[in-house]
Structure 1
């Protein structure tokens, strides 16, 4: 039995070596003939996707992670960042995102239908992981917590905080300088002075981190190109 297993193992290894050698020789032959059909030229994922006559636009020093997605009429401001698996859809209604704003991992921003209000997000806004923004207006220096939901027609004024997991009902006005929490969300308290400082500092940290991630991605692309040459 052991001898049979040994023979099978040797046969598998020899077959693997022959197959790999054949594929390597084929690639060399193709390159010598100027044939590059064996190389994948298309990216498996397109972070920016036009729809009809609308294409996303991104400002200087902005960052969109490779697995993120911007669709249609989307404007991403200067030094803003769209993180991994985050989706911003402007195929139904326009989406405007200000400067130094971060849309964190797995968040969704867009409209529910063509009748929804456009999405307007101000400057220095942080939208937490898994948060959902639908047809809402968000002012400057706002923090939307992890997995929070902002429904259509909502207006979140500047310097306010929506707590993690909060559900803000349709057409709700959240005054500036307040913390809202719960389902449905209600005013919890006023924003503390140290929280106001955090609201202004957090976007800068994400901007710095976006630059680091972009440098790493560029380096990986260079290494990949060296490998394929």
Structure 2
């Protein structure tokens, strides 16, 4: 199945240099992505009613869904990692933060720099996660402080492995 790159209401996805977009990923609408990003198999980024803005060195892993709400764009800053099958909806993910596998981050939530949202967690609408904290559970709550650089490990890993695919 080929990658789907779709214009919506006259706006088309764009991305910087040295990005990897998997064969069956979908990017639709008002998406702007920086350099050295990766969007993996089955991921869907849909920006039809508002924007999705993604920094550099971001990875959006297999089956993740990134979507916005009218008046609530998605912002994913440099070095963030969006785990397998995670949902980011109308939220802000700060620099070097990690959203774990099958986690959900809802409208107006703000995941702080270097913070970690644990696998399976649900970050409710409007929740503000401070920098450098690990949150988990349903609804998500503070579990403990993250180790310095803990979340960045995943971003660095995906910068490395995307090269295995980019050179084909």
TM range (shorter): over 0.9
**Pick from 203, 220, 223: which aligns with 2:155?**
203
- Cα RMSD between the aligned structures? 1.2
Unaligned runs of 5+ in 2: none
Alpha-carbon distance in structure 2 between the residues aligned to 1:108 and 1:61: 22
**Pick from 78, 84, 96: which aligns with 2:53?**
96
Pick 1 or 2: higher relative contact order, CA cutoff 8 A, min separation 6: 2
**1:58 matched residue in structure 2:** 15
1:144 and 1:163 in contact (8 A); partners too: yes
TM-score normalized by the length of structure 2: 0.95
**Pick from 123, 126, 139: which aligns with 2:94?**
139
Structure 1 residue 185 and structure 2 residue 140: aligned? yes
Please list, as runs of the form range in 1=range in 2, the aligned pairs for 1:53-202 lying within 5 A after superposition: 53-111=10-68, 113-115=69-71, 117-192=72-147, 196-202=148-154
Higher helix proportion: 1
Alpha-carbon distance in structure 1 between the residues aligned to 2:61 and 2:112: 20
Alpha-carbon distance in structure 2 between the residues aligned to 1:156 and 1:128: 14
Unaligned runs of 5+ in 1: 1-43, 217-229
TM-score normalized by the length of structure 1: 0.71
